[in-house]
Amino acid sequence: MKKLTFFFWVLWVAAGWPNNLCAQELNAKVTVLAQRVNSTVDRRIFVTLQNQLNSFVNNRKWGGDAFAPQEKILCSFILNIESILETNVYKASLTIQSARPVFQTGYRAALINFVDPDLAFKYIEFQPMEFNENRIQGTDPQVANLTAVLAFYVYMVMGMDYDSFSPKGGEPYFRKAQNIVNNAPEGRNISGWRVFDGLRNRYWLGENLSNARYNLVHDVIYTYYRGGLDKMIENENEARQNILQALVQLQAFNKENPNTMVLQFFMQGKATELIGICAKGTPAEKNQMVQLAAVLDVVNAEKYKTALR
C-alpha cells in the first residue's frame, strides 16, 4: 500500500480499516474566481460551480489503490473565469498546484505549479458534472470540456505523485491523461488538446509524459524526490548530490530533446527550493547549480546566480 507504514496500518486495524480502504485519493481544494465577469451576472452560479467541482474532484475514485486520510494527495485547482464568450459559455484559466510530504519533515515539496491559460466551457447552474474516460466527448463538447480538463490534470497530479515515490510509478495515470487527449472534446472555442494549438498545451504535456522516448524524465522525478528530498534528513550531502545528478540527467535530456514542455513543467516553481538546498553546499556544488539553472531554468537564472555566488 502506497506510502503506508506499519504504524499507520496498526491504527487502521484498530479503527476498523475496511471503511478506510475505499477512501478517495485527493485532498483537493477547487476555487472559482470570477471578479472579471460582468457584475450583472448572478454571482451564486459561481458558488454552485465551485461546490460542484470540489465534489467532482474529491468524491470520485480516480485509481485502484487505497488511500488513508493522511495519505491523500494535497492539491489545488483555481479556475479563474476571465470572460463570457456567449450565453453560459465562459473563458478561463486554470492553475494547478500539488505537493507531497518530504520524509521525516513537515515540509511539502511542490510537484506541480502550472497555469493552463486556455479553458473554454459551458456551464448551466446545477448541471451534472459527468466524466466517463471511455466516452469523453459527451453530447455537448463545451460542457464535456470542463470535466475533461479537470480529469486530465487530476491524472497529472496522480502521475507526478506516484512517480515521486516509485520508479515510473505514475505511468498508468499518464496513460489515462493521454487517453483524454486522444479523445478530447472538439468544438467551437475549445483548444489546448491538439498538436497545432501551440507548443505549451495539454497535447504536449500528455505526449511528453506518456512517450517511452522520454522515460529519462520519470527517472529524474524519482531521483529528485525519493533519492534527494526524502534523504535530506538522513544524509544531506548525499541527498544534494542526488538532486544535482538528477538535474544533470535533465540537462542531458534537454540537449537531446530541446524545448520540450515537460522540462518547463518539472522546473516550474523550484527555484527557491533548489537555492535553499544548494546554499549549504560546497562552492563547486553552488557553481554547478548556477550552470544548470542557466539551461534548465532560464527565467530564474539570475536569481540562482545572485543567491549562490
Mean pLDDT computed over 28-54:
92
Query: Which long-range contacts link 103-108 to residues 24+ away (Cβ below 8 Å)?
Result: 103/229, 103/230, 103/231, 103/233, 104/233, 104/234, 105/232, 105/233, 108/74
When the pLDDT of each residue in the chain is averaged and rounded to a whole number, the result is 91
In this prediction, residue 134 carries a pLDDT of 81
The pLDDT value given to residue 133? 86
pLDDT in the model for residue 143: 94
Q: What is the pLDDT of residue 87?
A: 92
pTM attached to this predicted model: 0.91
Q: Which residues pair with 84 in a beta bridge?
A: 90
Q: What percent of the chain has pLDDT over 90?
A: 83
pLDDT score of 229: 98
pLDDT digit string, tens, across residues 6-37 = 333 333 333 333 334 446 899 999 999 999 88
Domain range summary for the chain, segments of one domain joined by +? 6-210, 217-308
Q: Could you give the CA distance from residue 170 to residue 192 in angstroms, rounded to a whole number?
A: 22
106-133: pLDDT as tens digits: 999 999 999 999 999 999 999 999 998 8
